[in-house]
Structure 1
Amino acid sequence: MKVQLCLLVLCSAACAFAGKLPSFITPCSRSDPQLNTCIEKVISAAGAKFTEGIPELNIAPLDPVQLGTVFVDNPSLKLTFSDTVVTGLRGFRVNSYKINMEKGKATLDFTANVTLKAHYVMDGQILILPIRGNGQSKIKITNLNIVIKYDFDEKDGHWTVPSYKDHYKMDRAQFKFTNLFGGNKELAQTTERFANENWEIIMNEIAGPIFKQIISKCVDQVKLFFDAVPALELLP
């Protein structure tokens, strides 16, 4: 009777933790000699669905991704984005994926075209050009390339991500700000034209806090996914 009871408890525990891998994800085998390529294909195939969110696993959508309030506080420029929403991650392209199971390290390299929309309040200058305004903003970023290098451990049958590093670059950014200089059209057109012609300078000023939050949101959802799905289901 005791043996049967123990078996029942073990079976119940196994059932509680098994079968959580979403049907749209096909797991790779740890013994696959082409493991990197296999995982890369899985991420490419399942990524769009993942960005929609997985309510049953408490995974929030990543397209759109809600950033809330983003502050840019530089000596020459003060900028606040509120009600910030980023779209476009659904269409990301995987450039490469590498994993080292022995060392517990992995690298994901991907590219996406994204658009940020938010209400902005801005005051300061870029180079020698004064800029201020309070209105709606839109930033279109072409070929945003993000590389995330992360460490992973296995604890209680699940992967954890204790640390990660990121790097990003882009091909181009285009800006649209309404109500620059209180609605002065001539000043607004001149400033916006300057901003779009010198987009690299602008993004050097404002990109850090924006991309930090985007990447943090992505990593947070992956952590929740690892919390929900046992490692042996992800890589049997």
Structure 2
Amino acid sequence: MQLHMPVALWFSLLAPLWLAAVQAQQFLQEPPAFIKPCLLKDSLSNDCLTANIESLFQHWRNGVPGLHGVGSLDPFRVGRLRIAQRVPPNVDVSVELRNMSTIGLSQAKILNSTTLLNSGQYTLGFHVHLTRINITSNYKLKGHVLLLNLNSAGILSADLDNLEFYVALRMRPQSAEGLVFMNVTAIKTDIVRIDKIRVNLTNLFGGNQELERSANELFNENWRVLFDVLRPVLTETFDAVLQDRFTKIFRYLPAKYLFEDFA
């Protein structure tokens, strides 16, 4: 999976291809045993939907049986990701990540789910908690971060503790192959809590271990400053990753397997 910014434009090009993709792709023939269909009604709390989404994360952590193009959730892999952000005076940087692997997503807990129907379009809301996320990746970095001028490539590793975020997922029913599927039209996330981020980047100064250690200490002491600066581009990237995955899953999974409304 490769993502290139701006991701909003990238996904806008996918919309006209949705129906053709459903028609060309085999759908799941039998409902998963771990899913119980829910009612899609306006609700501030939908415990059935909460249980289903958690089950999808856990049972399909290694991928979706029979669905090509959706790899494992845990570890979740992204082949290439580019991030550029300029917020003087703290950050003016271009970063390329390759072979990024994220561990911990299958342990997501859905604290609450809500549903809303408006003009034939459904909005599902989730409050998600992740106890710990670990990320490793090859990186190339150029620019300045805090007081450091950097031009380096190496290995990045990061641990995120107690991450909470809201996800709003908009979708509209679409008919194909004599069945109803949910076409995901938009996803928006909002990170509301993160207790700590610890990062380590190797080879920052051509192998000078003392300078490298000092730089990583500086990053970790100021992680909140860096996170606030990078939050918009990280959120946009998160939206893109989730939309890519949920779009593929919902166009493979007939709506009646998840929602009583389409039985």
Q: What SS does structure 2 have at the residue aligned with 1:228?
A: coil
**8 Å Cα contact 2:35/2:257 also seen in 1:** no
Give 1 or 2: higher helix fraction: 1
Partner of 1:127: 146
Pick aligned residue for 2:190 from 164, 167, 175 = 167
- The residue that corresponds to 1:204 in the other structure is 228
Match of 1:225 among 249, 253, 258: 249
Residue 54 (structure 1) aligned with residue 64 (structure 2): yes
Q: 1:42 aligns with which of 52, 55, 65?
A: 52
TM-score, with structure 2 as normaliser: 0.74
Aligned mates of 2:204, 2:27 — CA distance in 1: 54
Partner residue, 2:22: none
TM-score of the two chains, using structure 1 as the length reference: 0.82
3-state SS of the aligned residue for 2:141? strand
Whole-angstrom CA distance in 1 between matches of 2:152 and 2:184: 40
Q: Residues 5-41 of structure 1, C-alpha deviation per residue, up to 9 Å, x if partnerless?
A: xxxxxxxxxxx97853222222224579897111112
Match of 1:12 in 2: none
Deviation larger for 51-60 or 209-218: 209-218
1:215-236 deviations in whole A, cap 9, x for unaligned?
4233322222221222222112
After TM superposition, the structure 1 stretch with the greater mean CA deviation from structure 2, 203-212 or 216-225, is: 203-212
Tell me the secondary structure at the aligned position of residue 216 of structure 2.
Answer: helix
User: Which among 128, 140, 161 is matched to residue 142 of structure 1?
Assistant: 161
Distance 1:175 1:210 in 2: 15
Letter in 2 for 1:167: D
Deviates more, 1:96-105 or 1:24-33: 24-33
Gapped runs of 5+ residues in structure 2?
A: 1-25, 87-91
Task: Describe the SS at the equivalent of 2:83.
Answer: strand
* Counterpart position of 2:126: 108
Mapping 1:67-86, distance limit 5 Å: 67-75=78-86, 76-86=92-102
Residues 1:33 and 1:117: Cα distance change in structure 2 (over 3 Å): closer
Given candidates 237, 250, 255, the residue that maps to 1:213 is: 237
* Partner SS state of residue 94, structure 2: strand
| Most deviating of 186-195 and 48-57 | 48-57
**Structure of higher CA gyration radius:** 1
The question of 1:234 aligning with 2:258 is answered yes
**Partner deviation per Cα, 1:87-141 (whole Å, 9 max, x = no partner):** 1101111121101245522111212221111111223222323334321110111
**Percent identity of equivalent pairs:** 21
CA RMSD in angstroms comes to 2.6
